[in-house]
Amino acid sequence: MTQTQRKQIVGAAIVDSLTSPTKLLAARRTAPEQFAGQWEFPGGKVEPDEDDMEALQREVREELGVEVQLGAELEGPDRQGWPLNETASMRVWVAVITAGVPAALQDHDELRWVDLRDTAELTGLPWIPADRPIVDALLGRLVPVSELA
């Protein structure tokens, strides 16, 4: 059985350091209505003329007004990354801000730096349901088990 090609979405897990991350930047959505007020990883659709990493750089620039350096990909369960629904999947990269100050410019009404060592704060946010497994995977990868509360 072949896997159906889904629309490719890209997302950034923006942290304060690629080598020793302690904080994650979360963004609260304003639209569409079913996701308004829920938290997500900044990012968006890949356009036909760009690769996934170029798309992520553009999306972060448009949504947050910052430039980022991409680190490792947080690999999902299939080759297109993390399934969001029947028609879309998201590839996620860990990233750090290299220029600018993040602002909620497009699609968000609040940004929040969340302490990765305070798992209750991070997992207590109302994440978009499809992003929640990515949050858990990120915690498992970035925070040593001995530090998890």
Domain boundaries, given as residue ranges, for the chain: 7-141
pLDDT tier for residue 4 given thresholds of 50, 70 and 90: low
DSSP string, the chain: -PPPPPEEEEEEEEBS-SSS--EEEEEEE--SGGGTT-EE-SEEEPPTTS-HHHHHHHHHHHHHS-EEEEEEEE--SBTTBEE-SSSEEEEEEEEEEEES-----SSEEEEEEEETT-HHHHHHS-B-GGGHHHHHHHHHHHS-GGG--
Whether 141 shows a pLDDT value over 90: the answer reads no
Whether 1 shows a pLDDT value over 70: the answer reads no
> How confident is the model over 70-123, as pLDDT tens digits?
999 999 998 889 998 889 999 999 999 999 999 999 889 999 999 998 888 888
If you average pLDDT over residues 35-41, what whole number do you get?
Answer: 93
CATH label, 7-141, candidates 3.90.79.10, 2.40.10.10, 3.40.50.1220, 3.40.225.10:
3.90.79.10
Whether 33 shows a pLDDT value over 90: the answer reads no
If you average pLDDT over residues 23-27, what whole number do you get?
Answer: 95
* Helices assigned H by DSSP within 8-95: 52-64
pLDDT reported for residue 143: 58
- Of 106 and 147, the one with more pLDDT: 106
